[in-house]
Amino acid sequence: MVKEHDRIRDEWQAVARGWRRWEPLFQSFTWPVALRMAAVAQIGAGQRVLDVGCGIGDPTLQVAVLVGPHGRVLGIDLVEDMLATARERAAALGLGHVEFRAADVATLEVPPASFDAVLARWSLIYVDDVAGALARLRCTLQAGGRIAVTAWAPPEDNPWIAIPMEGLARVLPLSPPDPAAPGLFYLSADGALADALRAAGFRNVGQQRVQLSQFARDVTEFWAMLADMAGPLAPLVAGLAGPERQEVLRTVADRIGRFRSGDVFRIPAQAQLAWAEL
């Protein structure tokens, strides 16, 4: 298990610079999920919020703005380099009530009942023991506390990542994504996140899809962002020889053509969002 933890941490460590570099475009892609998460978790002024697997500070920072200076937000992640960018962003925004700490959700130790809300955006999908993690997170909530977690919807509704995977599969032995194993499409089926929340003992569980749209000025920008940021795919992309890379790029360019909108691209995506109460 320690080895698996190290593998996941190294995978995300390898793309921490990419996340820093593409922050603005990533914000423009993911803001609908940050807003919906905050809404379903009923986050408001003065609350204490835990954000699990916060990466470079999302949705930690958006939520810190919502709770205001009398609230408190803690973001945890495995990767120090991600957290360094998160801290820098918090300082630039003057958000003194946010703390970022290196921690694994599987072993996280915080006092019981210390948060009003827990968020986990696209992070539990990389965790082996989701049931164990949810049980631990449940203990961190105070009575009436709320949780909001996300995964991705299945690949057919996520061409922003399915297309690059299709391109890579032309030149590499890539197995199809397994919705039953930790990774990009873990818990992607409708209702899967809600079932996990119910199994962990949460009440008033709900789930819905959230539609996103990835903006890119051109294919080069789309591919560069993907290659720099997509944790599980980045090492595969980095290992491509020149001609293979060209073939992948040709496939990607061909397949995203249908998402051209005038002089830019708007590539569809869908997230799964589930929420519940203690």
Ligand X SMILES: C[S@@+](CC[C@H](N)C(=O)[O-])C[C@H]1O[C@@H](n2cnc3c(N)ncnc32)[C@H](O)[C@@H]1O
Would you say 46 or 181 has its CB closer to ligand X? 181
Distance of alpha carbon 26 from alpha carbon 113, whole angstroms: 32
Q: Where are the beta strands (DSSP E) in 113-218?
A: 115-121, 141-152, 203-216
Under the criterion CB under 6 A, does residue 58 sit at the interface with ligand X?
yes
Distance of alpha carbon 257 from alpha carbon 270, whole angstroms: 19
Shortest distance, CB of residue 123 to ligand X, whole angstroms?
4
- Binding residues for ligand X, total number by CB under 6 A: 19
Distance of alpha carbon 71 from alpha carbon 200, whole angstroms: 27
Under the criterion CB under 6 A, does residue 194 sit at the interface with ligand X?
no
Among 77, 168, 186, 252, binds ligand X (CB under 6 A): 77
Query: How far, in whole angstroms, is CA 129 from its chain's centroid?
Result: 17
Distance of alpha carbon 215 from alpha carbon 26, whole angstroms: 9
Shortest distance, CB of residue 215 to ligand X, whole angstroms?
16
Among 73, 105, 149, 219, binds ligand X (CB under 6 A): 105
Neighbouring residues of 214: CB distance < 8 A, sequence distance ≥ 6: 29, 160, 222, 265, 266, 267, 268, 269
Under the criterion CB under 6 A, does residue 54 sit at the interface with ligand X?
yes
Under the criterion CB under 6 A, does residue 106 sit at the interface with ligand X?
yes
Shortest distance, CB of residue 106 to ligand X, whole angstroms?
5
CA gyration radius, the chain = 18
Would you say 150 or 251 has its CB closer to ligand X? 150
Site string for ligand X, 108-137 (x = CB under 6 A): -------------xxx--xx----------
Residues near ligand X, by CB under 6 A = 8, 12, 53-55, 58, 76-79, 82, 104-106, 121-123, 126-127
